[in-house]
Amino acid sequence: MKSFIPCQRLALFLILPGLQMSDANAQRIRSPKVHGDGTVTLRLKSASPRKIVVEIDGAELLMTKGANDDWSVTTAKLPAGIHNYSFTVDGTRMIDPLNRNVKKWFSLASMVVVPGDPPLLTEFQDVPHGVVHRLIYRSATVGHSRPVMVYTPPGYNAAAGQSYPLLVLLHGFGDDETACTEVGRAHLIADNLIASDTTQKCVIAMPYGHPIPPPFHDQPDEDIPDNADLYEQDIMTYLLPFLEEHFRLHASAANRSIAGLSMGGGHAIYTGLKNTDTFGAMGAFSAATPELESAALRKKYPALTGPHAPANTLRHF
């Protein structure tokens, strides 16, 4: 007979390790602190360093040691938006231990948001909000289960019978499926655009873009096209049917789009041009475009060829 942990005991089991790691002293200083004039003060408490440098948006700032081993520096005025920064302590790079807002790239960076006036599309605003779901689907193409983040708009109700357009949004090489929301703020952008009647309500699917695990050394040349091939098969054969099973989506290409950043932009081109009967619009931003000669491009993407090339029917590219 199976035994079960009561919910109260389970809660203690989950919470207590976090309590053991708390540091009351860390709460006595604040970093980052955003000022009304757009400057930002960064602080770090450390007794031993000889030199601490902050790198923010490519600029390097030298921190000054004050009382009680409190190091600090204040930036020049920063434009509204999201800014990445890190500390280098006597040559060792680190994130801000007082800031839980972290960009998870191959090397981590802390993030700070300078608000806009009026607020930027990426900012949390007092508007109706959608829901971000973290789901797992099985992919026989890849050979294991894979994660996907799915945004449903405000008021989404699967039982209401309404169908929604679909945007498949693909991340860059150094990111994962969480990047579009944690860094790109795709869900907040969608909420704000919907609230202003600038765009229609839609479902946004943000899958993990590395069917072939990213290397931690020089990448073999064949990995890039092989990863794109496998990803396209995964999206078309397993991801889309999974989304259709769990969400109310329009079936027509006129209501389905695919877009991406960097590597994801290349994936959007690759998958979109091979499936113009599924995706009626494509977006490729700072994209890793296919590096092929004209004849090879036409062979790889038949949608580009002929007197009535299917690519010419795309609503947007």
Q: What is the pLDDT of residues 163-195, one digit of tens each?
A: 999 999 999 999 999 999 999 999 999 999 999
Instruction: For residues 262 and 145, state if they share a domain.
Output: yes
Whole-angstrom CA distances from 200 to 87, 123, 152, 153, 156 are: 42, 19, 12, 9, 12
Beta bridge partners of 94: 87
Tell me the pLDDT tens digit for each residue of 45-57.
Answer: 988 888 999 999 9
Report yes or no on 15 lying in a domain: no
| Same domain as 149, residue 282 | yes
**Structure tokens that stand for 145 in this block:** 């289960």
- Indicate the residue among 58, 79, 114 that finishes a domain: 114
- State the pLDDT at residue 218: 67
77-125 pLDDT tens trace: 999 999 999 999 999 999 999 999 999 887 899 999 999 999 999 999 9
The tally of CA atoms less than 13 A away on the side-chain side of residue 198 is 8
Residues 67 and 140 in one domain: no
Residue 2 has pLDDT above 70, yes or no: no
- Asked, for residue 4, whether it belongs to a domain, the answer is no
CATH at 226: 3.40.50.1820
What mean pLDDT do residues 213-226 have? 74
**189, 85: one domain:** no
Q: Which of 33, 28, 93, 85 is nearest to 59 (CA)?
A: 85
Q: Residue 48: what pLDDT?
A: 82
Taking a C-beta distance cutoff of 8 angstroms, is the pair 202, 166 a contact? yes
Query: In this structure, are 258 and 306 located in the same domain?
Result: yes
Residues 265, 144 within the same domain: yes
- The residue from 59, 82, 114 where one domain ends is 114
Distance of CA 259 to the CA centre of its chain: 13
Same domain, 105 and 187: no
For residue 269, is it within any domain? yes
What CATH number corresponds to the domain at position 69?
2.60.40.10
Residue span of the structural domain in which 187 resides:
131-313
Nearest to 289 by CA among 261, 308, 252: 261
Query: Does 173 share its domain with 105?
Result: no
* Residue 79, preceding peptide bond in cis (omega within 30° of 0): no
d(CA 69, CA 309): 67
Are 316 and 282 within 8 A, CB to CB? yes
Report the domain count for the chain.
2
Domain boundary (55, 82, 114) is at: 114
Is 197 in the same domain as 301?
yes
Query: What's the whole-model pTM score?
Result: 0.88
Residues listed for the chain:
317
Residues 155, 288, single domain; the answer is yes
Strand partners, 33: 41
Q: Which bin fits 261, alpha (ψ -120 to 50), beta or left (φ > 0)?
A: beta
Residues 6+ apart with CB under 8 A from 9: none
Name the pLDDT band for 26 (thresholds 50, 70, 90): low
Q: Give domain status of residue 126, yes or no.
A: no
Same domain, 163 and 292: yes
- Assigned domain for 201 exists: yes
Could you tell me if 317 and 296 are in contact, meaning their C-beta atoms sit under 8 angstroms apart? no
- Identify whether 14 is part of a domain: no
